[in-house]
Each structure stands twice: as C-alpha cells, then as structure tokens.
Amino acid sequence: MSVKGRLKVAVAGSALTFALSTFGVSPVQADDQQPPGIEVDMPADLEITEATEVPKGSEPSSGSATHPCIGYTTTYASSGCFQPYGDVFYATDLLADGRSAAVGVFTDYGRAKQACVFSLGAGKTGKCDWDYWEKGNVKLKILLYDRATKGWYQPEAWSDWLPVDGQ
C-alpha cells in the first residue's frame, strides 16, 4: 500500500474513532445501561418466602448427574430453576440493582401461588424448599422484587410446564 493509501486509512480510522466516542457508542457503555424495569402484576394472594443462601460452589446445574435442575430460565437480572428431587426452587441474583431475584411458582392443580425471593446480593443464589404434589406440574416466572415498594418488576421470563416428579 502506498503512503497516500496508508494516510487515507489512518484518517478514516481516526474519524471513525472520533465519531464513536462523540456519540457514545461502545460495547462497554451498552452493557452498563440496563433498562429500569417496568412494574408487573402478581397475584394478590401470592405467598412470599425468603430464600436461604446456597454456599458458593453448591449452586444447582442443569448437567448434574444425580439431581439436575430443570426449567432453567434467565433474564439479564435474575435466573431460576427447579430441582424435582426434594422440590427445591433456586433464585440467582445476576445484577447489583437493589432489587431481589424472584421465582414465582404456579401449578396446574390449584395450589396457592408462591414466590421464592432472594435478597442477599448479586452473584449469589438462594433456595426455597417446598413440597409439591408429585403428579402435578409447575411453571416458573423469573422476575425482580423490590422490598421497599413491594413491587414486582421486569425483566420477566417464564419456563415451560415442568413435571414435579421430574419424569
């Protein structure tokens, strides 16, 4: 490439760098700017249970050979899953935003709706250990909970129906 050609490439690269920095377009900034979340409705009779912390290294996995966690559902702010053996629900807080990770649990057989809320901080996982009818199915709703306002917030995501017996 000639000196003139290299000069054109250098000028074009400098102009592009200037434009991107001026208009604030960068992957780092995009990742830092999360939507604030929109309040969502949850049933008025919802029973809220505070999750107990799961020690680091003991978090559930979908690949666990003996007791896998199924229905793993996630948003950018929280995730959750269901472990049929023992009927354990897990909630993981993925974002330090002042809100709690929550897993709403709904059944196909009329049991009261419950929510497992984990409030001990981002990067940690909590669990709720409940007992469900083995012939039923559960559906998880992953979202955020704000204790100060007692409000439920997006982002939210639903799992499919999951068999309580894991079969």
Q: What residue segments make up the domains of the chain, in order of their start?
A: 1-32, 40-163
Measured between its terminal Cα atoms, the distance across the chain in Å is 65
pLDDT band at 16 (very low <50, low <70, confident <90, very high): very low
Residue with tokens 């897993």: 103
Predicted TM-score (pTM) of this structure: 0.75
- Residue type for position 147: R
For domain 40-163, give the CATH number.
2.60.40
CA dist list (Å): 140 to 1, 107, 108: 59, 9, 12
Identity (one letter) of the amino acid at 17?
T
Amino acid 27: pLDDT: 36
pLDDT in tens, 35-58: 567 999 999 999 999 999 998 888
